[in-house]
């Protein structure tokens, strides 16, 4: 599966994408690649078979964020050229659109591309090729593409209105992106599609904040798999079965996935196990001026994803998104012990109330 999305493209754009790279040869049961296996299959990739992982959300410069799907080689060539032309000069969406059509017309039918541009006057404009658009309240317009578009459409109208409490429009967009990605990941784990015995890994999210492009650098998804019993209640699990966390590691994007059994309070030490590391897609992406970035969007996001197995064998999936500024406001809390270990604790009553409300809907 490939999925690229831009929420509210011409007001407060938030872009996100999965990290899987696939080809035409089928959909095998494979686990996510380890750090040492990251490049396996990438050069020979075609379309639907899972070969490895790659960044699809790309910071061209502080004022341009792009997301791509389709032919890997063509997408890389186009984005590298855009970086060379626009990376250090004036940014104008109209000029970008004209440049792409004049210089990369042959490549455009083979890729889906979305460019969000923060122009010099402070407004944003989005240029896209090979995508479709729809409008979903309360988020607004959504532009998306990729083989996962149909599954994405299933959740596009299920955003709870409580997301509006996220505050400003940027946080609303990020919260909506987390709602989508959490549900999509749970759906993959529940159904085995597109992977079996694993799931599609992580999603990357980027937006503009404080006049600068920025990726959400520390986000935690926790996956809960309770079951509905014969009486219509739920068999409540005392811990998330899996969780994944995205973080920055020496200029690279790293993810880890862990199955945990936390104890009450901060007592359970868990060893960090990197699932995979992705170098930046473009050669000079690390040259983005980090001094302009604002930390307010980071270390505030936690997504509890509930995948309830109902009596008829189907699943009901929903997300509880926490966007408080302080970690102690989250139902599940993390605390670093050192570079290799951290501790976690869970407010079970908070999670239980969410589960009960979900089953009663």
Q: Which residue would you say has higher pLDDT here, 277 or 63? A: 63
- Is residue 262 pLDDT above 60, yes or no? no
pLDDT in the model for residue 113: 96
- Is residue 173 pLDDT above 60, yes or no? yes
- Is residue 123 pLDDT above 90, yes or no? no
Place of tokens 């995508």: 131
pLDDT in the model for residue 66: 93
Q: Which residue would you say has higher pLDDT here, 48 or 103? A: 103
Q: Please tell me the distance from the alpha carbon of residue 306 to that of residue 236, in angstroms, as a whole number.
A: 11
The residue-averaged pLDDT of 314-320 equals 73
How open is the CA angle 305-307-308, to the nearest 5 degrees? 135
Q: Which residue would you say has higher pLDDT here, 156 or 18? A: 18
Name the pLDDT band for 108 (thresholds 50, 70, 90): very high
pLDDT in the model for residue 264: 47
- Count up the domains in the chain and report the number: 1
Place of tokens 């809960």: 224
Name the pLDDT band for 82 (thresholds 50, 70, 90): very high
The listed range with the strongest mean pLDDT (145-149, 185-189, 232-236) is 145-149
- Is residue 13 pLDDT above 60, yes or no? yes
pLDDT in the model for residue 40: 39
Domain with 22, as residue range(s), is: 4-360
- Is residue 359 pLDDT above 70, yes or no? no
C-alpha distances out from residue 331 to 185, 243, 262, 292, Å: 20, 14, 13, 31
Place of tokens 């490939």: 2
Q: Which residue would you say has higher pLDDT here, 85 or 296? A: 85
Q: Please tell me the distance from the alpha carbon of residue 61 to that of residue 186, in angstroms, as a whole number.
A: 33
14-18, 253-257, 265-269, 336-340, range with the lowest pLDDT: 265-269
Q: Which residue would you say has higher pLDDT here, 335 or 17? A: 17
The residue-averaged pLDDT of 310-316 equals 78
91-100, 121-130, 275-284, range with the lowest pLDDT: 275-284
**Chain segment 176-224, per-residue pLDDT in tens:** 888 888 777 777 666 655 444 344 557 888 888 878 888 877 677 777 7
Q: Please tell me the distance from the alpha carbon of residue 361 to that of residue 354, in angstroms, as a whole number.
A: 11
- Is residue 50 pLDDT above 60, yes or no? no
User: Helix, strand, or coil here: 95?
Assistant: helix
- Is residue 58 pLDDT above 80, yes or no? yes
Mean pLDDT of all residues in the chain? 70
Is residue 176 within 8 Å of residue 216, measured between CB atoms?
no
- Is residue 104 pLDDT above 90, yes or no? yes
- Is residue 105 pLDDT above 80, yes or no? yes
| CATH code, domain with 103 | 3.60.20.10
Q: Please tell me the distance from the alpha carbon of residue 140 to that of residue 221, in angstroms, as a whole number.
A: 25
- Is residue 327 pLDDT above 90, yes or no? no
C-alpha distances out from residue 327 to 128, 219, 341, Å: 37, 12, 18
pLDDT in the model for residue 65: 92
- Closest to 207 in 3D by CA, of 3, 33, 353, 5: 5
- Residue 291 burial (C-beta neighbours within 10 Å; 0-12, 13-18, 19+): exposed
Name the pLDDT band for 135 (thresholds 50, 70, 90): confident
For 341, what's the count of Cα atoms within 13 Å in the CB-facing half-sphere? 8
33-42, 274-283, 301-310, range with the lowest pLDDT: 33-42
Which alpha helices (DSSP H) does the chain contain, by range?
Answer: 72-86, 93-103, 149-155, 169-191, 348-360
pLDDT in the model for residue 37: 39
31-40, 319-328, 334-343, range with the lowest pLDDT: 31-40
Name the pLDDT band for 143 (thresholds 50, 70, 90): very high
DSSP string, 219-235: EEEEEE--EE-TTS-EE
Name 345's bridge partners: 333
- Is residue 326 pLDDT above 60, yes or no? no
């Amino acid at each position: 599966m490939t999925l690229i999305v831009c929420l509210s493209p011409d007001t407060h754009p938030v872009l996100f994408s999965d990290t899987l790279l696939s080809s035409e040869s089928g959909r095998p049961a494979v686990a996510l690649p380890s750090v040492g296996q990251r490049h396996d299959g990438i050069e020979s990739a075609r379309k639907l078979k899972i070969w490895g992982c790659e960044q699809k959300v790309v910071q061209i410069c502080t004022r341009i964020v792009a997301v791509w799907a389709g032919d890997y080689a063509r997408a890389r060539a186009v984005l590298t050229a855009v970086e060379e032309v626009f990376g250090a000069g004036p940014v104008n969406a109209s000029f970008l659109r004209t440049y792409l059509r004049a210089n990369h017309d042959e490549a455009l039918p083979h890729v889906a591309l979305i460019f969000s541009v923060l122009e010099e006057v402070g407004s944003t404009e989005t240029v896209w090729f090979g995508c479709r658009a729809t409008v979903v309240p309360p988020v607004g317009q959504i532009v998306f593409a990729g083989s996962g578009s149909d599954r994405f459409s299933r959740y596009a109208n299920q955003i709870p209105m409580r997301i509006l409490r996220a505050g400003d429009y940027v946080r609303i967009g990020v919260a909506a992106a987390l709602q989508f990605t959490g549900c999509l990941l749970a759906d993959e784990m529940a159904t085995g599609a597109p992977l079996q015995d694993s799931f599609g890994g992580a999603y990357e999210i980027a937006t503009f904040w404080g006049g600068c492009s920025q990726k959400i650098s520390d986000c935690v998804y926790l996956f809960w798999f309770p079951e509905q019993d014969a009486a219509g209640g739920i068999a409540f699990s005392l811990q998330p079965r899996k969780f994944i966390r995205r973080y920055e590691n020496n200029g690279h994007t790293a993810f880890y996935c862990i199955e945990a059994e936390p104890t009450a309070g901060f007592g359970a030490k868990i060893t960090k196990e990197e699932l995979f590391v992705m170098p930046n897609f473009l050669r000079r992406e690390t040259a983005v001026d980090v001094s302009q970035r604002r930390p307010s969007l980071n270390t505030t996001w936690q997504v509890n994803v509930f995948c309830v197995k109902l009596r008829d064998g189907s699943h009901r999936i929903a997300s509880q998104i926490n966007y408080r500024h302080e970690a102690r406001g989250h139902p599940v809390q993390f605390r670093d012990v050192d570079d290799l270990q951290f501790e976690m604790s869970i407010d079970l009553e908070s999670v239980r109330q969410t589960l009960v409300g979900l089953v009663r809907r």
